[in-house]
Amino acid sequence: MTAELISAGYSVAGIREAIAPVLARLAAAAAERERTRTYAFDDVRDLAGHRIGLLGIAAADGGAGGSLREVAELIVALARADSNVAQALRPTFLIAERARRPDFPHRERVLQRLREGDLFAGSGNERTGGASGSVHATIRRDGDEYVVNGEKFYSTGGLYATWFSTSATGEDGTVVGFTVPFDREGVHRLDDFDAVGQRLTASGTTRLVDVRVRPDELTPPDAQPATPWRGSFAQLYLAAVQAGIAAAALDDAVRFVRAKARPIKHSTATHSVDDPYVRETVGRIGAHAQAARSAVLVAAEVLESAADGDRAVAAEAAVTVAQTGVIAIEAAFRAAELLFDVGGGSATDRGLGFDRHWRNARTVANHNPRQWKAAVAGAFHLTGEDPPTTGLF
């Protein structure tokens, strides 16, 4: 079996080379897709076909191999091309990262789906007015199977995915996890996500109406970890998306200055590329993009070094990721704002879509408040207090 899987021949370099044209297409049409609310179904299908979810999975498991740093580099590249697509693929990368662990429930089944190029979505979020984290979706026994009813919101990547993972409350009050295919009868995907940014992440409602669930589709709880900060990779992913947004703002700044911008009347330059203040602004955007990317890659290395289960090392890695989130969020905000300083009024033309970078960065940042990240990091440095184990660090 192992030799058979290794013979599939996936590699980090091979996947990166194969998806380069797809990323170029995504980047070229990103602003227009946002303007017209058009999803990148064909390009995302191509990315899945090139097995991007296998990056970071060991070759012995049929994966492409690669370090966590290389996974982070790919996420930044995806977000640089289109942060909506990068965000939509987050659930797939999260489940792939969890499947690296030998104790992950249904591990072989998940690995096989990744090898087949399937994409994943999932959400535990509900808009019921109850306390955060409360589960009002219900699951009840019906013969040899179960029946689920309820609604889940923020189903990121749902319109692209094959599989949907979520939870429901059983008749005895126990919360039960499960995974079903999106084409299962009674599973309805709604395109109703309407935030100021990241509008094409397919993060809307998934409605479950008398959905039948087999016993083998129930998800047993993860084994109790020695280090409880299993949300660190999920948070690093968001920081990588912010780094990609900052890089995309740099790309737009360079293109605009080279092709369209004109110096103001009292400039000493005849071309915008020679204007000292335009140069300074582009340099500052580049510095912010570099800072975000560098912080993400360093955090990826630190997080991977914490995989041996040492609690103190894992706590420090979680703090590093939290600090990286602060750096990446603020870098993306600043890069997106400075983009408008490389030109005059024409830089605000709606057709250019430059506003999408700030809107997208702002929406990603609202997943988890950066004030909490900074405060938790400060507490760790000052008193040695561990980060919370809520999954947000």
| pLDDT at res. 268 | 80
pLDDT digits (tens, 9 = 90+) for 195-229: 999 999 999 999 999 999 999 999 987 666 778 99
| pLDDT at res. 132 | 67
Report if residue 126 sits inside a domain: no
- Whether residues 239 and 189 fall in one domain: no
The answer, yes or no, to whether residue 337 has pLDDT greater than 60, is yes
- 212 beta partners: 147
Report if residue 123 sits inside a domain: no
| pLDDT at res. 8 | 60
| pLDDT at res. 61 | 96
Report if residue 44 sits inside a domain: yes
- Whether residues 215 and 237 fall in one domain: no
For residue 388, give the DSSP letter.
Answer: P
Q: For residues 134 and 126, what is the distance between their CA atoms, to the nearest angstrom?
A: 8
Q: For residues 295 and 320, what is the distance between their CA atoms, to the nearest angstrom?
A: 9
Q: Report the pLDDT averaged over residues 374-384.
A: 98
| pLDDT at res. 344 | 85
| pLDDT at res. 305 | 95
For residue 99, give the DSSP letter.
Answer: H
| pLDDT at res. 177 | 95
Contacts of 256 (CB under 8 A, 6+ apart): 342, 343, 347, 352, 354
Q: For residues 338 and 282, what is the distance between their CA atoms, to the nearest angstrom?
A: 8
Q: Report the pLDDT averaged over residues 34-46.
A: 97
CATH number of the domain to which 297 belongs? 1.20.140.10
Total tally of structural domains belonging to the chain: 3
**Which of these three, 189, 219, 249, is where a domain ends?**
219
**Which of these three, 52, 86, 118, is where a domain ends?**
118
Contact 368, 325 (CB under 8 A): yes
- Whether residues 236 and 370 fall in one domain: yes
Q: Report the pLDDT averaged over residues 127-135.
A: 74
| pLDDT at res. 6 | 46
CATH number of the domain to which 42 belongs? 1.10.540.10
When the pLDDT of each residue in the chain is averaged and rounded to a whole number, the result is 93
Q: For residues 231 and 43, what is the distance between their CA atoms, to the nearest angstrom?
A: 28
- Whether residues 213 and 236 fall in one domain: no
The string of DSSP codes covering 178-216 is EEEETTSTTEEE------SS-TTS----EEEEEEEE-GG
The answer, yes or no, to whether residue 124 has pLDDT greater than 50, is yes
| pLDDT at res. 134 | 85
The answer, yes or no, to whether residue 333 has pLDDT greater than 70, is yes
| pLDDT at res. 2 | 47
Report if residue 128 sits inside a domain: no
Contact 356, 31 (CB under 8 A): yes
pLDDT confidence tier of residue 7, bands split at 50, 70 and 90 = very low
- Whether residues 159 and 113 fall in one domain: no
Contacts of 28 (CB under 8 A, 6+ apart): none
- Whether residues 69 and 179 fall in one domain: no
Report if residue 127 sits inside a domain: no
- Whether residues 83 and 154 fall in one domain: no
| pLDDT at res. 103 | 87
**Which of these three, 219, 249, 281, is where a domain ends?**
219
Q: 81: closest CA among 37, 20, 38, 35?
A: 20
- The structure tokens listed for 37 are 């609310």
- Whether residues 240 and 372 fall in one domain: yes
CATH number of the domain to which 207 belongs? 2.40.110.10
- Whether residues 184 and 281 fall in one domain: no
Q: What residue type is assigned to position 61 of the chain?
A: D
- The structure tokens listed for 118 are 């399937």
Report if residue 389 sits inside a domain: no
pLDDT confidence tier of residue 90, bands split at 50, 70 and 90 = very high
The pTM for the full model equals: 0.95
Report if residue 392 sits inside a domain: no
Report if residue 390 sits inside a domain: no
- Whether residues 312 and 237 fall in one domain: yes
- The structure tokens listed for 355 are 């506003």
Domain residue limits at 162: 138-219
- Whether residues 174 and 293 fall in one domain: no
In percent, how much of the chain has pLDDT > 90?
84
Q: Report the pLDDT averaged over residues 358-374.
A: 96
- Whether residues 40 and 151 fall in one domain: no
The string of DSSP codes covering 27-47 is HHHHHHHHHHT---HHHHHHH
pLDDT confidence tier of residue 1, bands split at 50, 70 and 90 = very low
